[in-house]
Structure 1
Amino acid sequence: MGMQQTDEQVDIVDEEHVVGLSGAALFAALTGALAYLSIPYPLSPAPVTLQVLGVFLTATFLGAKWGGVSAVLYVQAGALGAPIFAGGGAGLGTLLGPTGGYLWSYPIAVALMGWLAYGQLGIGSPSETGTTRLVAALAAGTLVIYALGTAQMMVVSDLAIVEAIWVGAVVFFPAEAAKIAAAVAVVRSGAVPDWSAEGIASRR
C-alpha cells in the first residue's frame, strides 16, 4: 500500500513538472507574440502593446511558480537576443533602457498575481476563482509592473517623479484596465484549457 502511494505521488510530481515546463515555454512564446502588437504612444516613451495581456494570462493559467518560471524564460530569451520584446526588440540594451523596468517586473508581478489568485504556488483552476479575486490579483500585478517600470524610466530618462508617474504609468491605466477585462473574458470563455491538475483530469 505504501509503495503504491509513493508511486502515485511520484507520478503526480512528474506530471506537474511536465505540465509546468511545457506551459512555461508556451506562455513565454505567447507573451513574445503579443509584444509584436506595439503602437507608439505620444504620451509616453513606452509603447502600447498587448505584452502585458500575455503576462496576465501567464499568471492566470500557470499560477505563481510556473508562471514565474515562464516570465523568467521570456525575459532571459529576450536578453539573449530573441526579438520578443515590444515591437520585436531584444537584448540587454532594452532591459537597461528607459522601458526595461517593465520587463524586469514581469517575474515578480506574475508570481504575485498567481499567489493572490489562488493562495498557493502551484497551478490553480481559473474557473473556480471568483471574478473579483481574479481582477484584484491582476490589478495588484499591474501596480508592480508600473511601479518598477516608472522607477527605471525616471532614473534612465532623468525625469522628475511626477512626470515619470504620469508618462510611465497613469497614461496607460485605461489600456491596462481593458487588458484585465480581456484576460478575465478569456478565462470565462473557456477558450484556453485549464492547466491545473483538476482541469487535466476532467479532460481525460
Structure 2
Amino acid sequence: METTDVNTKAAAATPSRTRSVAFVGLTIAIMAVLAWITIPLGPVPFTLQMFAVTFAIVVLTPTQAMASIAGYLLLGAVGLPVFSGMRGGFGVLAGPTGGFLWGYLIGVAAAVVLLHLVRTRTGWDAGRRERALDPAAAAAQTPAQRVGRFLRASGVEVLAGVLFTAIAYACGCVQYAAVAGVSLEAAFLVACAPFIVVDACKIVAAVACAQAVRAAVR
C-alpha cells in the first residue's frame, strides 16, 4: 500500500515539475529576446529586460522566478548571447553595466521573499479575489476608478517590482562607478537617472500583464 501511494504521488508530481521547467525555460527565453531589443542611451542601453524580470517575479512561484534569473545569468556567463546587444560571456558581467545583471539576482530574491511573505501570512490574495468585479462592472468604471482598483489589487506586486528595480540600480551604480572610475553620484546620473520613469512604466505594465496571464491560465 505504501509503495502504491508513493508511486501515485510521484506520478502526480511529474506534470507539475514538467510545467515548472517549461515556465522557467519560457521565461529565460523571454528575458533573452527582450534583452535583444536595445535602444542606445549613453553607456547603458535601454532594453525591456526589467519588464521581463518583473513579470517573472509576479507571475511565477518564488522557486521558478529564482531558477529563471539564475539560469538566464548562467547561460549568459558561459557565452550564450542572451544579454543586451546579443552579447554573452563573463566579461559582460564584469564590465561597467554588469552590476545591473548581478542586481537582478539579488533583487529577484528580495522581491519574491516580500511577495511570499505577503501572500502566505496575510489575507491579501483572498481579499483581492473578493474585490474582483464582473466584466460589466469593470467596463463601467471611470479611468480614475480603474487606476485605484489596480493599485488596491496589485499594490504589493508593484512594490515588489520597485524593490527589485531599486536593488538592481544600487548594484549597477556600484559596479559602474568602480569599473568606470567615477563617483557614485556620477554613476547614478549616467546609468540610472535616465531610466527611472521608463522603468516605473515597465513595472506597472509587467504587473498588469501578469494579472492577465494569471486570469487566462486560472
Question: Shorter-chain-normalised TM-score: which range?
Answer: 0.7 to 0.9
Q: 1:56 aligns with which of 51, 54, 65?
A: 54
Q: Distance in 2 between matches of 1:88 and 1:190?
A: 27
Q: 2:108 aligns with which of 84, 107, 110?
A: 110
Greater fraction of residues in helix: 2
Cα shift at 1:169:
1.9
Q: Distance in 1 between matches of 2:11 and 2:216?
A: 21
Greater Rg over alpha carbons, structure: 2
Cα shift at 1:5:
6.4
**In the alignment, what sits opposite 2:30?**
30
Is the Cα–Cα contact under 8 Å of residues 150 and 168 in structure 1 kept in the other structure? Answer: yes
What are the equivalent positions in structure 2 for 1:52-201 lying under 5 Å apart? Answer: 52-119=50-117, 130-190=153-213, 193-194=216-217, 199=218
Cα RMSD of the aligned pairs, angstroms, is 2.7
Moved more, 175-184 or 15-24: 15-24
Q: Output the amino acid matched with 1:31.
A: M
Q: Distance in 1 between matches of 2:156 and 2:40?
A: 32
**3-state secondary structure, aligned to 2:88:** coil
Q: Distance in 1 between matches of 2:107 and 2:157?
A: 14
Cα shift at 1:192:
7.8
Q: Distance in 1 between matches of 2:112 and 2:153?
A: 14
Q: 1:72 to 1:65 in 2, by over 3 A?
A: same
In the alignment of these two chains, the number of paired residues is 190
Scaled by the length of structure 2, the TM-score of the pair is 0.77
Q: Output the amino acid matched with 1:117.
A: L
Q: Could you list the runs of 5+ residues in structure 1 that have no partner in the other structure? A: 200-204
Scaled by the length of structure 1, the TM-score of the pair is 0.81
Could you list the per-position Cα deviations for residues 47-104 of structure 1 after superposition, in whole angstroms to 9, with x for gaps in the alignment?
1100111111111121322111111111111111211101111111111100001111
Is the Cα–Cα contact under 8 Å of residues 28 and 73 in structure 1 kept in the other structure? Answer: yes
Q: Distance in 2 between matches of 1:161 and 1:104?
A: 17
Is the Cα–Cα contact under 8 Å of residues 76 and 89 in structure 2 kept in the other structure? Answer: yes
Report sequence identity in percent: 29
